[in-house]
């Protein structure tokens, strides 16, 4: 039979589907593929490796009607007691997918195999993550605990699942949090179908081919070790993105961002139409506003305060927003719903806007990323800005070559004011959807002066070393947003000062507030603030007849993130560009004068700067510093510079002024 025979190819595909659907044996014995994996030799790993993936196999069979059958096989050897957690597995499915087969086994180092009984597999629904309210969702998962996950034992599972994807794309994640001895991915398709495979964070691999099937294999893939402030897993893990391309079909994988944008345009077609009710609401909200900017601000405020975030994700609803009229009538929706309704309301005042699909974590999508619909988990808007509106009023905007100036705005974010985006979205890659299709764009990074903490204090140290005084803090940008989030559901007045208590406690060992108040907690158009007064017992430390006073009273900006033995492997992702400043006046106790002061610091680099200065005027000690975060992504090759920077900051924060007793002329010894 010729390999190019239609019947030969389809016969092979049918045989593969039949093979994949064969259920496991009724006995407790693990299958042959798992025993073969268990027989593998295991290299010596360090004491932080609690398990190793002996074998990982993904079999993806595509039928002519676009249905996919995916079989996943895994075998893991437990190396240390901490590895027992790998035995708790969750297998997700929804209304568009079906789990045909799910089995689990354990091969002990000695004795007979164990298997998981069907009655031991539970079925649970998804109720939403942190901060989510899911009104209706068809995501579910089956929970399976593999038996006896003891050191030396091998645990494993096999799951066969059918789904009819909205887009013919598949992802092969072959790097794990544990080492992988061997991973294999096989794609089988009907005749004349094609594919496009792109590797991320890994060199390209040439597949083995046969009868319209393709198999990629990797071996000895190192584990991903979690590092503080590293990019999201998706941004660093090795993987392969596969777009499946049937001849002439509408439902196919994306070969370009333009194609992906076209797909989304069809999903949202007609969803932003303005209903009479929406039009009347827009008139009510904008009737007292004189400019287009004021009207846009009013509509944005309505979206942030009056439309609740609630998810309804059934079937295609995970990608397709509801019609604007329904969102308005219900007064709730998820991120893409809120973007849809705001887009509709903006259109009613003559303002164009465009969907932006983005990942809520910077670094998850890279500049060279291929178009993959599963990369994005959030939707915001790019809003056309009329001429005459100052860029300073809308700093989160860019000049687009075709659309003119557009502002990126997140209607789901109830705290960040119109004109801005929070730090996680800044310098983040996203797909902008325009009438011409989609394009990968990078959101702007705001100037450091747009976010930060500006703190001042007037303080006094008495002869016993006690410190008393008043602080004023002004917080802007993400620094204000985080405080407002912390206080969002706080009712008791005494609980409203807990965030500032926590900050002060990191600098002052023993202290008490004599008074404290919060400013502008609910008005995100104004800077957030704290005013507080403290008493810190024995702040100045005695050293014989000397007193040691730390000029940097509160605020810690140094970090020990790089103080570790292992070399850093991944970049550091900081929260947001920001500027922090402190200005402290400390009246010295009578009978003392300054004998020594900490040196001034002047450090400036491309990623950050730090400047501090301490001086004495009369009986008052003045300390000032400015710390500026310029870049939010620090590459690995700059880690040594960053470590040096943090050590310089830490040294300045520990610096002390030395006070000595004043010797009066009358008391001076006669010579």
CA dihedral 65, 270, 267, 369 (to 10 degrees): 150
Classify the C-alpha dihedral 565-566-567-572 as positive or negative. negative
Give the mean pLDDT of 129-153. Answer: 78
Lowest mean pLDDT among 42-51, 473-482, 493-502: 493-502
3-state DSSP of 162-184: EECCCCCEEEEECCCCCCEEEEE
Alpha-carbon distance of 82 to 20, in angstroms, equals: 33
Look at strands 332-333 and 308-309 and give their pairing: parallel
Could you tell me if 28 and 114 are in contact, meaning their C-beta atoms sit under 8 angstroms apart?
yes
Sign of CA dihedral 103, 106, 112, 118: negative
Tell me the three state secondary structure of residue 500.
helix
Which has the higher per-residue pLDDT, 637 or 509?
637
For residue 133, what pLDDT is reported? 53
Could you tell me which of 43, 368, 91, 89 has the C-alpha nearest to residue 223? Answer: 43
Question: C-alpha angle with apex 261: 257 to 266, nearest 5 degrees?
Answer: 150
Which candidate, 518, 522, 553, places its Cα nearest to that of 532? 518
Q: How confident is the model at residue 96 (pLDDT cuts 50, 70, 90)?
A: confident
**Alpha-carbon gap, residue 237 to 225, rounded angstroms:** 11
CA separation (Å) from 232 to 8, 421, 451, 570?
Answer: 44, 19, 23, 10
- How many contiguous H segments (helices) and E segments (strands) does the chain have? 11, 38
pLDDT confidence bin for 18, thresholds 50/70/90: very low
* Confidence band, pLDDT 50/70/90 cuts, at residue 138: low
pLDDT of residue 1: 34
Integer distance in angstroms from the first to the last C-alpha of the chain? Answer: 118
What CATH architecture does domain 6-245 belong to?
A: Sandwich (2.60)
pLDDT in tens, 247-257: 987 678 899 99
In the DSSP assignment, the letter for residue 450 is: G
Q: Which of 15-24, 47-56, 411-420, 585-594 has the lowest mean pLDDT?
A: 15-24
Domain ranges of the chain: 6-245, 257-446, 449-661
Is the domain spanning 449-661 CATH 1.10.3720.10? The answer is: no
The pLDDT score that the predictor gives to residue 128 is: 56
Q: What pLDDT, on the 0 to 100 scale, is given for residue 127? A: 59
The pLDDT tens digits of the residues spanning 198-243 come to 999 999 999 999 888 999 999 999 999 999 999 999 899 999 999 9
User: Which pTM does this prediction carry?
Assistant: 0.89
Would the pLDDT of 297 be above 90? yes
Q: What rounded mean pLDDT belongs to the chain? A: 91
- The angle that helices 292-306 and 335-348 make with each other, rounded to 10 degrees, is 150
Beta bridge partners of 120: none
Assigned CATH for 257-446: 3.10.620.30
Using alpha carbons, select from 150, 143, 152, 49 the residue that is nearest to residue 104: 143
Q: What is the pLDDT of residue 670?
A: 52
Q: Examine the pLDDT at 44 and tell me if it is beyond 80.
A: yes
């Amino acid at each position: 039979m010729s390999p190019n025979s239609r019947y030969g190819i389809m016969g092979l595909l049918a045989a593969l589907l039949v093979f994949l659907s064969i259920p496991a044996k009724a006995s407790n014995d693990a299958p042959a593929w798992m025993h073969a994996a268990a027989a593998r030799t295991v290299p010596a790993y360090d004491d932080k490796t609690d398990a190793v993936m002996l074998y990982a196999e993904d079999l993806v069979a595509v039928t002519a009607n676009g249905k996919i059958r995916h079989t996943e096989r895994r075998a893991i050897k437990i190396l240390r007691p901490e590895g027992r957690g790998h035995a708790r597995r969750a297998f997700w499915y929804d209304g568009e997918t079906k789990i045909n087969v799910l089995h689990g086994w354990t091969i002990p180092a000695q004795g007979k195999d164990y298997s998981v009984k069907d009655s031991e597999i539970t079925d649970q629904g998804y109720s939403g993550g942190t901060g989510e309210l899911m009104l209706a969702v068809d995501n579910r998962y089956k929970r399976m605990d593999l038996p006896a996950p003891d050191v030396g034992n091998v645990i494993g599972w096999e799951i066969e699942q059918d789904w009819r994807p909205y887009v013919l794309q598949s992802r092969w994640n072959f790097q794990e949090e544990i080492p992988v001895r061997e991973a294999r991915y096989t794609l089988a398709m009907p005749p004349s179908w094609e594919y496009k495979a792109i590797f991320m964070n890994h060199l390209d691999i040439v597949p083995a081919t046969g009868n319209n099937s393709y198999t990629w294999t990797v071996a000895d893939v190192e584990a991903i070790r979690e590092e503080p402030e590293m990019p999201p897993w998706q941004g660093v893990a090795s993987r392969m993105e596969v777009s499946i391309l049937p001849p002439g079909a509408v439902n196919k994988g994306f070969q370009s961002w333009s194609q992906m944008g076209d797909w989304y345009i069809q999903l949202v077609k007609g969803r932003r139409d303005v209903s009479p009710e929406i039009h009347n609401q827009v008139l009510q909200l904008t009737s007292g506003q004189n400019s287009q900017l004021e009207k846009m601000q009013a509509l944005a405020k309505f979206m942030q305060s009056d439309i609740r975030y609630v998810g309804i994700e059934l079937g295609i609803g995970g990608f397709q927003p509801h019609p604007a009229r329904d969102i308005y009538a219900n007064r709730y929706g998820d991120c893409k719903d809120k973007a849809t309704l705001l887009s509709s309301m903006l259109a009613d005042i003559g303002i164009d806007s465009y969907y932006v699909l983005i990942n809520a974590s910077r670094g998850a999508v890279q500049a060279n990323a291929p178009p993959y619909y599963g990369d994005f988990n959030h939707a915001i808007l790019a809003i056309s800005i009329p001429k005459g509106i100052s860029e300073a009023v809308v700093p989160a905007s860019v000049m687009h070559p075709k659309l003119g100036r557009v502002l990126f705005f997140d209607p789901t974010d109830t705290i960040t004011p119109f004109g801005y985006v929070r730090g996680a979205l800044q310098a983040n890659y996203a797909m902008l959807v325009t009438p011409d299709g989609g394009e990968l764009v990078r959101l702007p990074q705001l100037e450091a002066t747009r976010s930060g903490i500006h703190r001042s204090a007037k303080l006094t140290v008495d002869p016993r070393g006690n410190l008393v005084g008043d602080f004023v803090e002004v917080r802007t940008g993400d620094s204000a947003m985080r405080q407002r989030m912390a206080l969002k559901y706080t009712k008791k007045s005494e609980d409203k000062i807990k965030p500032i208590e926590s900050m002060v406690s990191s600098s002052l060992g023993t202290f008490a507030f004599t008074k404290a108040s919060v400013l502008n907690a609910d008005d995100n158009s104004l800077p957030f603030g704290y005013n507080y007064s403290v008493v810190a017992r024995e702040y100045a430390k005695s050293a014989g007849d000397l007193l040691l006073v730390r000029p940097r009273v509160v605020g810690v900006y140094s970090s020990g993130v790089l103080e570790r033995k292992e070399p850093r492997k991944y970049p550091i992702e900081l929260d947001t560009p920001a500027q922090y400043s402190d200005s402290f006046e400390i009246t010295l106790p009578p009978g003392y004068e300054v004998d020594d002061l900490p040196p001034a610091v002047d450090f400036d680099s491309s990623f950050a700067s730090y400047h501090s200065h301490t001086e004495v005027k009369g009986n008052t000690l003045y300390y000032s510093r400015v710390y500026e975060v310029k870049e939010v992504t620090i590459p690995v090759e700059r880690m040594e510079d960053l470590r040096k920077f943090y050590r310089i900051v830490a040294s300045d924060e520990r610096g002390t002024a030395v006070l000595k007793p004043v010797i009066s002329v009358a008391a001076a010894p006669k010579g």
